[in-house]
């Protein structure tokens, strides 16, 4: 059993718990960098999609997982990033400029929408964001000079100084770019949680009344959370646009928003790791189900794969409400404490704070 001995109050704010944990994260990054040398281009594309979903999941996790604000319309901000990146790319703007501008555009739109929307909370906020996602589909169609309307738009290769990256021509380079963005976003996210701003987000999530009593401006930090969440989601949308190559409003339907929320719930709410676990489930599980079904029977039944996928997700939520990352933590702690681990040490207590509602 390995025990971490804390010697300072700052130990809780360290980026890594100890050198052992830092080593394994470094090993994971090295393995991810070397991955294109051991798998073919098809599977590289599948991993790229998982990385993009992980970035989008981290964007939504900032808002729903660490600030406690439900959103059922985040596909609209994926669309903001994708369409802005496509428009700037077609104008010949370098990716180094268009990529952050796409995220900034989505962030500003999210902050503007957040000002009236954050007067609501709970199920009312979820309904408001759901309506926003539905309206966004019509806005995309009506803004035909910018979005291409129903026909959609095309996005070219990524233009970097002295380098052009195309998903199909050089998939490995596109994978490394997405991996770099994923690591950068995860690193920034982890440092955000160590800051006073990140701790304010968590305080608002746990109890708005208590956070207000500590001098935290609820409206300001909720708006900031919306901006950061939409900014990161816009970055994912920009990469998604290059991944798809050509797209229209159907790539950002309300079902995508529901899938994103389901992704972070299954992965594990309130954790950066949960975004990655959820992205792997959404990206890999349908492919695994299809491969197994083809091995068992060659007869395809309409909707069977989708039904099995949905049943597995429901089973995960019922059996482990804390998500896959919660189950991973339980398993790791059980092995670390063996043979002292107890069966009921992870039992959930049915209690809640009555001060959760701010009136």
As averages over each run of 10 residues, the pLDDT of the chain (359 residues) reads 65 77 91 92 91 95 89 90 93 91 94 81 81 87 86 87 85 94 95 91 88 89 92 95 89 88 89 92 86 75 77 84 84 77 64 46
> How many Å separate Cα 86 from the centre of its chain?
21
CA trace torsion 51, 244, 232, 318 (10° rounding):
-60
pLDDT the model gives residue 356 = 47
pLDDT the model gives residue 5 = 67
pLDDT the model gives residue 48 = 94
Q: Please tell me whether the peptide bond between 210 and the residue prior to it is cis, using omega within 30 degrees of 0.
A: no
DSSP 3-state of 251: helix
d(CA 184, CA 100): 13
Domain ranges of the chain: 38-253
pLDDT the model gives residue 357 = 45
pLDDT the model gives residue 19 = 81
Count the helices and strands in the chain (H runs, E runs): 14, 4
8 A C-beta contact, residue 54 and residue 263: no
pLDDT the model gives residue 352 = 47
Residues in the chain: 359
């Amino acid at each position: 059993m390995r025990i971490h001995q804390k010697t300072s109050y700052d130990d809780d704010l360290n980026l890594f718990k100890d050198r052992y944990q830092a080593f394994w994260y470094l090993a994971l990054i090295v393995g991810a960098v070397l991955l294109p040398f051991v798998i073919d281009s098809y599977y590289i594309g599948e991993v790229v999609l998982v990385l993009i979903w992980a970035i989008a999941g981290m964007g939504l996790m900032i808002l729903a997982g660490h600030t406690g604000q439900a959103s059922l319309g985040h596909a609209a901000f994926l669309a903001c990033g994708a369409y802005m990146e496509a428009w700037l790319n077609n104008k010949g703007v370098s990716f180094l400029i268009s990529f952050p501008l796409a995220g900034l555009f989505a962030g500003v739109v999210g902050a503007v929408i957040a000002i009236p929307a954050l007067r609501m909370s709970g199920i009312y906020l979820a309904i408001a964001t759901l309506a926003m996602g539905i309206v966004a589909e019509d806005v995309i169609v009506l803004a035909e000079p910018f979005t291409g309307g129903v026909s959609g738009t095309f996005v070219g290769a990524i233009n970097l100084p002295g380098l052009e990256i195309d998903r199909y021509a050089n998939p490995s380079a596109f994978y490394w770019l997405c991996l770099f963005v994923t690591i950068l976003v995860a690193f920034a996210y982890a440092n955000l949680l160590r800051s006073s701003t990140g701790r304010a987000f968590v305080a608002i999530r746990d109890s708005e009344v208590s956070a207000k009593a500590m001098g935290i401006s609820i409206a300001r930090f909720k708006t900031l959370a919306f901006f950061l969440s939409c900014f990161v989601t816009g970055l994912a949308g920009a990469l998604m646009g290059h991944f798809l190559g050509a797209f229209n409003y159907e790539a950002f339907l309300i079902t995508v928003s529901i899938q994103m929320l389901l992704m972070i719930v299954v992965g594990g709410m309130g954790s950066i790791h949960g975004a990655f676990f959820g992205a792997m489930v959404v990206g890999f599980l349908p492919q695994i189900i299809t491969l197994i079904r083809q091995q068992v029977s060659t007869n395809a039944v309409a909707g069977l794969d989708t039904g099995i996928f949905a049943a597995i997700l429901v089973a995960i939520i019922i059996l482990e409400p804390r998500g896959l990352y919660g189950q991973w933590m339980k398993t790791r702690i059980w092995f670390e404490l063996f043979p002292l681990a107890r069966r009921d040490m992870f039992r959930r207590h049915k209690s809640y704070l009555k001060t959760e509602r701010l009136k």
